Amino acid sequence: MLRRAHEIKRTIMHSDYWQLAQFISCASLSGVIDKLFYIGIIMTLSMATQANPIAKKQLAPCPSSPNCVSSQAADADHFIAPFKIIGNIDDAWTALKNALSNHNRTVITRDTGDMLHAQATSLVFRFVDDIDVIMDAETRLIHIRSASRVGYGDFGVNRKRLEKLRSQLQQAHVIE
């Protein structure tokens, strides 16, 4: 059992939970119950980080309001086609980041290599829209979502934003 705990510990050493595991291991662990508790936490964290790698490839669902579009939406009102990569995947990802960065009042706030989050701020009222992007290298698709944080309608701004982005990437010859 301790061997398994050490294997799990090695598995999650490079995860976000490593600092928590180090903190727990440095605490005064005395007795068998404390050690079993420690092993239980490590095993639970390990299972949580390895449970379903596909789940990480999901965009947040759109709300019922019409101010969101997503390539993973189930309904036609919110659906927008994903971007189909035709060239090098890394070139497509770089072109996407460059295009987003060049949009007025748009800032990339998080880039993990295959997932990206950006925020677009409207000119007059300073409303913030969230743009989420997932690179699915296996299917050669870029899944994308744009949604308003507040309000009900968006006058089609989110759809227009993503179609403009699609057009820019098509002109760069990285997507169909």
Task: Please write the tens of the pLDDT for every residue from 112-135.
Answer: 989 999 999 988 888 899 999 999
pTM for this predicted structure: 0.67
pLDDT at 87: 86
- Cβ burial of 56 (10 Å; 0-12, 13-18, 19+) is exposed
Instruction: Tell me the CATH number for domain 55-171.
Output: 3.30.310.80
Task: Please write the tens of the pLDDT for every residue from 45-64.
Answer: 444 333 334 455 899 999 99
Report the chain's mean pLDDT, rounded to a whole number: 78
b/e sequence 17-51, b meaning 16+ C-beta within 10 Å = beeebeebeeeeeeeeeeeeebbeebbebbeeeee
3-state DSSP assignment of residue 14: coil
Round to whole Å and give the CA distance between 72 and 80. Answer: 8
Arithmetic mean of pLDDT, 137-146: 95
**Domain ranges in the chain?**
2-51, 55-171
Angle, helices 31-50/18-26, rounded to nearest 10 degrees = 180
Return the bridge partners of 117, or none.
110, 132
